[in-house]
Structures are given as C-alpha cells and as structure tokens.
C-alpha cells in the first residue's frame, strides 16, 4: 500500500453524503465505525459516536425539511480527538428554543448527543443546521 502516503498534506478527513432515507443513518454509523477503529477507539467509544451520529442524522431527516434531501457528514481525525460534523441545508431551528414536541417521550436527541460525546456545538439558521461533536481518543 501507499508506503509514504502521496500528497504530503493528506488531510485526515473522511466525507460522507447520504440521502435522507429511512435507515440511511446506518451507512453513517458503518463509516463511523471504520474511522473510529482506525483511530483505535474502544468499543464503548465507538458505540457512543455511532448513537450520537444516529441522533443527528435522524433529526436532519425528520426536521430539516431540506428540499435537496442530503446530509453531509465529515469525520476529522485529529491527534487528540475525532470530530464529527453533521450538516443539512434545511430550514434550521433555534437551539435555545427548539419547537414543542408532538410526541411523548421524545425531545431527547440533543441531550443524548451531549451525554455521549465530549462536546456538541449547534450552528443553525435559515441556511440549515450544522452539529459539530467531538470524542477524545482513548486515554491509556
């Protein structure tokens, strides 16, 4: 294989674009699993990234109302952490005052992301929503 990776400045980024179709978030978790294994994350860390990513994807599917129907996911492998960015070009929302919830027992997606990742930032507006989450590498 590439002895010396070509392109000295090879960025350690993986980009994935998925259509907003039911279950397509699984393509994202599969990719996430490979990336997290590459970074030698342990199984619990891998599961945490996968579930947080699922929540971000299904929110985009369910609420973004994006007309192009795509979710853009970027995995950035840093020396100290994995950053996962989930972006849609939908209608956005106010993270301080999310809409009232239609159903019982819902409304915990963002709380799950915050509970499972080390940091979660939300940038949302009329141009869409970007969730940026990070998970530190295993401390050994």
Partner 1 sequence: MTNDLQVHVRKESSYAVISTDGYINNVGGEKVGEIALGLVDEGYKNLILNLEKSNVVNSIGVSILIELVERIQDVEGRLYFCNLTKVIAKTFTIMGLAEAAGIVDTEAEAIVALAAPQEA
- In the complex, the smallest distance separating the C-beta of residue 139 from ligand ADP, rounded to whole angstroms, is 29
Q: Which residues contact 71 (CB under 8 A, 6 or more apart)?
A: 17, 18, 19, 20, 24, 28, 57, 60, 61, 86, 87, 88
Nearest to 52 by CA among 68, 75, 69: 75
Residue 11 near which of ligand ADP, its own copies, partner 1, none (CB within 5-8 Å, type-dependent): its own copies
What spatial distance separates the first Cα and last Cα of the chain, rounded to whole Å?
A: 29
Q: Cβ distance 138 to 79 under 8 Å? A: no
Binding residue (CB under 6 A) for ligand ADP from 59, 89, 116, 133: 59
Binding residue (CB under 8 A) for its own copies from 39, 50, 52, 64: 64
Q: Which residues contact 15 (CB under 8 A, 6 or more apart)?
A: 72, 73, 74, 75
Distance CA(113)–CA(55), nearest Å, equals 7
Q: Considering only 16-24, 79-87, 99-107, 120-128, which stretch makes contact with its own copies by CB under 8 A?
A: 16-24
Distance CA(81)–CA(118), nearest Å, equals 9
- Please give the residue ranges that form the binding site for partner 1 (CB under 8 A): 1, 22-23, 25-26, 29, 34, 36-38, 40-44, 46-48, 50-51, 54-55, 58, 103-106, 108-109, 111-112, 115-116
| Binding footprint of its own copies on the chain (CB under 8 A) | 1-2, 5-7, 9-24, 26-27, 29-31, 33-35, 37-38, 58, 61-62, 64-70, 90
| Binding footprint of ligand ADP on the chain (CB under 6 A) | 55, 59-60, 63-64, 88, 90-93, 98-99, 101, 106-110, 129
């Amino acid at each position: 294989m590439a002895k010396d990776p070509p392109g000295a400045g090879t960025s350690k980024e993986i980009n994935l674009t998925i259509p907003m179709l039911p279950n397509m978030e699984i393509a994202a978790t599969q990719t996430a699993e490979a990336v997290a294994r590459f970074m030698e994350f342990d199984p619990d860390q891998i599961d945490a990234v996968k579930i947080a990513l699922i929540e971000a994807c299904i929110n985009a599917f369910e609420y973004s109302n994006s007309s192009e129907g795509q979710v853009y996911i970027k995995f950035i492998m840093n020396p100290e952490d994995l950053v996962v960015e989930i972006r849609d070009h939908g209608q956005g929302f106010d993270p301080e005052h999310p809409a009232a919830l239609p159903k019982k027992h819902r409304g915990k997606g963002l709380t799950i992301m915050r509970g499972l990742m080390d940091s979660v930032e939300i940038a949302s507006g009329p141009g869409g929503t970007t969730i940026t989450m990070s998970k530190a590498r295993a401390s050994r």
